Amino acid sequence: MSQMLSAPLPWLSILVALPALGAVLLLAIPSLRRAGRAFALILSLCELVVAIVAAVAFDWSHSSTYQLSEAYSWIPQIGLSWALAVNALGLVMILLAVALVPLVVVAGWNEDEDPARTGAYLGWVLFLESFMVLIFAASDVLLFYLAFEGMLVPLFVMIGRYGVGEKKARQRAAMKFLLFSLAGGLVMLGGLVAIWALAARRGDTLFMIDTLSSGTVRLPVGIQVGLFATFFIAFAIKAPMVPLHTWLPDTAENARPGTSVLLVGILDKVGTFGMITLCLRLFPLGAASLQWWICGFAVLSILWGGLAAIGQNDIMRLVSYTSVSHFGFMVLGIFIGSQIALTGAMVYMVAHGVSIAAMFLLSGWLSRRGGTQDMRQYGGMQRVSPVLAGLWLFSGLASVALPGLSGFVPEYLVLMGTWKVSTLLALFAVLGVVLAALYMLMPYQRVFTGPPREDKKHIADLNGREKTVMTPLVIAMLVLGIWAAPLVSALAPIADEGSHLLTAATATLSEGSAQ
């Protein structure tokens, strides 16, 4: 059982409650919505300050230990506790989430003519922020599940009601997203019920992760495989992995850029976070039994996402398909059974969150100025909007792992770790690097090079507000590319534990087969 260290103040509960309170005020008080942008910005900056204070209180020398813990019995009849704690991975993801929210607020400052509509949208953004923190901090599996399902409500509204394009199209995209997510959630719920029934036989009805893992790791292989599958399917939909990815391009095409930033940059990482935190810890034998199938589908996601991205004409769909490929690298790193690769996968979660945020925001600003997301309707934009063009290329190169930028270190770690375990899978994964260069440089050539089109010469370059939003993202992409060592060092102990669980389970299966 992992040691947990409590905090003198309930920092994690404060981080959950603060945006939730702001959301309630914005949505319940119509008069406040007209000042909703300033209100949401101030509140999200306060949230960021609290998160930084929590990070200072965290003991980074014991990064794999769950800290800042709180535990209160909530509904004892069903074993539900308000139990929060974070290790370095959970805290880093919370920091990333609360850092992106104020950028999303400022980025969409003038997205609606009616400030009250923007205020209402930001109310849902704050609700989503509360759920994001809760998911990454929950140390009770049932609480995690409630947050996992609860976040669907603000996202459904943000896509269906406040999306872009035709009303029917965005409502279809919202419904598709909801149905896929609910399907995964229902499968996971089945696994939770089974776990509760098995735990009840031992007289234990708590859903605390440590308590459950002490029992689930001793379950027979067949039962572990079944339970692992219920969780993995839900996380593979969220991640998203081929062939469960089809909801993402439609959602990205019809959502606001800010919504896509939070969805792909943060909430889709719930899938990979859950694989590391729950799948490996609770069902190591199940993970080991399906390891090579999962790694095969991860490589398929890398290649499929890259090929699909090359064939896109819609710039937002392009960015979403690049993420399918990137998530393939993350899942490969998680399940290949290498400490190096698992470390890379966790660093990848952070690096991708930064670069994809920049890509979605820049693509959204371009589409808003040009009146279309169709890349065929552009050309020569680097002459018309040189700053936008330069930052789009910079962010794209960070995304495709150019040395010195944020994507290089994690992708290199994943590939190096994979090579040591399976040369064949590593070679196929390397093809994804080649595809990445194509799916980033070909669209850049179509949209930004050549002579500018007459009907697009009026497009303005980035203004001061937009440059302000991009500045911290650019700095983060540079820092993660040049000085990733502190993040790697913080996450490596967690990777040690996860890879040890998987390799030990693999050895157990091999011994069983030999007998």
Each residue of 162-221: pLDDT tens digit?
Answer: 998 888 999 999 999 999 999 999 999 999 989 888 877 766 666 778 777 776 667 888
Residues 50-86: b if buried by 16+ CB within 10 A, e if exposed: bbeebbeebeeeebbbbbbbbbeeeeeeebbbbbbbb
Most confident range, picked from 104-118, 156-170, 348-362:
348-362
Sequence-separated (6 or more) residues with CB below 8 Å from residue 305: 242, 245, 321, 322, 323, 324, 325, 326, 327, 328, 432
Q: What is the pLDDT of residue 202?
A: 67
How many structural domains comprise the chain?
A: 1
pLDDT digits (tens, 9 = 90+) for 232-249: 999 999 999 999 999 999
* Position 30 in a domain: no
Is 139 a member of any domain?
A: no
Return d(Cα 374, Cα 372) in angstroms, integer: 5
- DSSP per position, 400-467: TT-TTSTTHHHHHHHHHHHHHH-HHHHHHHHHHHHHHHHHHHHHHHHHHSSSPPGGGTT-----HHHH
The reply to whether 267 falls in a domain is no
Asked if the structure places residue 303 within a domain, the reply is yes
pLDDT of residue 25: 94
Average confidence (pLDDT) over 316-337: 96
Q: Is 113's pLDDT higher than 90?
A: no
The chain-wide mean pLDDT, for the chain, equals: 92
CA 458, CA 453: separation in Å to the nearest integer?
10
* pTM beyond 0.75: yes
Residue that has been written with the tokens 């409502």 in this structure: 171
Q: Please report the pLDDT score of residue 294 as a whole number.
A: 96
What pLDDT is stored for residue 456 in this prediction? 85
Residue 262 belongs to a domain? no
Does residue 344 belong to any structural domain of this protein? yes
Q: What mean pLDDT is predicted for residues 397-419?
A: 95
Long-range residue pairs from 153-157, CB within 8 A, at least 24 positions apart, any chain: 153/127, 154/124, 154/125, 154/127, 154/128, 155/128, 155/259, 155/263, 155/267, 157/124
Q: How far apart are CA 91 and CA 55, in angstroms?
A: 7
Predicted pLDDT of residue 8? 72
CA 352 to chain centroid = 8
Residue 132 lies in a domain: no
pLDDT bucket at 5, cuts 50 / 70 / 90: low
The pLDDT-based confidence of 472 (bands split at 50, 70, 90) is very high
Question: Has residue 407 been placed in a domain?
Answer: yes
**pLDDT (0 to 100) of residue 6:** 60
Residue 303's domain spans which residues? 290-502
Percent of the chain with pLDDT over 90: 79
| Closest C-alpha to 188, from 133, 223, 144, 247 | 144
